[in-house]
Structure 1
Amino acid sequence: SERARVFGGPFPREAAFDQLAELIGHWALRGFGRWMVADRTTDAPLGVVGLYHPEGWPEPEVAWSVFETAEGRGIAHEAALAARAHAYGTLGWTTAVSLIKPGNTRSAALAERLGARIEGRHAHPAHGLMDVWRHPSPEAP
């Protein structure tokens, strides 16, 4: 959809397939990845949330993308908290970031609600400048 414009979309079917393959392959290559978030009642897809660390990323990330039908329902917040808890509690991470394009006010507001703070910027060769939001450590209250 047009919401994918921030990352180069909307995508034709072949490019969307490549992204789906990347989601699955990340698990095999890194041992962690992102999950499809689905509606509890209808099983309709609502977004993709989880842990992400592709080549070229500065460090492991708590990442979220919700579909338009899921926005404003607290789904990304709940799923991102669960993903971060998994990173810290199960995988033993001691820190995590979220990379957010400047101007993506909804994602920045979510990062802030999660307790993350802007730490700097990362210049990615394909995605351009992204704000680096540092999440609170596992020990933080």
Structure 2
Amino acid sequence: MIPIIESDRLLLRPYKDSDFNAYADFFASDRARYYGGSCDRNDAWRRMSMFAGHWLLRGYGVWALEEKASGEFVGQAGLWFPEGWPEREITWMVLAGHEGKGFATEAALRVRSHAFETLGWTRLVSCIQPENSASVRLAERVGAVFERSQSIPGRDFHVYRHAGSEPRN
């Protein structure tokens, strides 16, 4: 049910049980502050399960990122639109030790291509907390442009409109 797509160096695939330890380690760290905050292993399991369930409910979702060369789980990226979210979004996250290799950029471009070309979407954003400078730089690197500030309960963020995407009416 979850399609597997590829980029030059990455396999975008469903989560595997073997991804969980690295996933839980990420969410136990301070790096998770931009992704809902740090949490224990039980809550990390619920988060990973939530991403898997998003596919069932919406028909699209977030993929695990696997580096083709090593077979290693290196992060996640995909399409995200939970209840209460302003618009369909490209989201990304790279695990510690895999930053600075271009994996998030490569994944974001592949996900955007999938949304526009395969799914036929015309609007797509990324919602980024303003202090998450690495994600802001990545959004700008892939051609997204700051559009507005927005708040949802418990979170303030900036909305970046992706290149090729129509503004929200």
TM range (shorter): over 0.9
The correspondence for 1:86, drawn from 94, 114, 119, is 114
RMSD between superposed Cα atoms in Å: 1.4
Aligned residue runs from structure 1 range 14-93, under 5 A: 14-93=42-121
How far apart are the structure 1 equivalents of 2:98 and 2:118?
27
In the other structure, the counterpart of 1:137 is 164
State the partner residue of 1:11: 39
CA offset at residue 11 of structure 1?
A: 1.4
List gaps (5 residues or longer) in structure 1: none
Paired with 2:31 and 2:165, the residues of 1 have a C-alpha distance of 32
Q: CA deviation at 1:48?
A: 0.5
| TM-score, scaled relative to structure 1 | 0.93
Q: What's the TM-score, normalizing by structure 2? A: 0.78
Structure 1 residue runs of 4 or more that deviate by more than 6 Å after TM superposition = none
Match of 2:6 in 1: none
Deviations 1:8-44 (A, max 9, x none): 4321011001101111000000000011001212211
Any unmatched runs of 5+ in structure 2?
Answer: 1-28
Question: Secondary structure in 1 aligned to 2:52?
Answer: helix
Distance across 2 between alignment mates of 1:123 and 1:64:
20
**Contact 1:61-1:96 within 8 A present in 2 as well:** yes
CA distance in 1, matches of 2:124, 2:31: 25
The structural deviation recorded for 1:67 is 0.8
Question: Structure 1 residue 108: deviation in Å?
Answer: 0.2
- Superposition map of 1:119-138 within 5 A: 119-126=147-154, 128-137=155-164
Change (3 A) 1:88 1:8: closer
Cα separation, 1, equivalents of 2:76 and 2:162? 19
CA distance in 2: counterparts of 1:135 and 1:110, whole angstroms: 11
Identity of aligned residues (%): 45
The structural deviation recorded for 1:6 is 2.6
Give the AA of the match of 1:41: A
Contact 2:124-2:165 within 8 A present in 1 as well: no
The whole-number CA distance in structure 2 between the counterparts of 1:38 and 1:21 is 18
Distance 2:99 2:162 in 1: 22
Q: 1:98 aligns with which of 117, 126, 129?
A: 126
Secondary structure of the 2:63 match is strand
User: Number of matched residues?
Assistant: 138
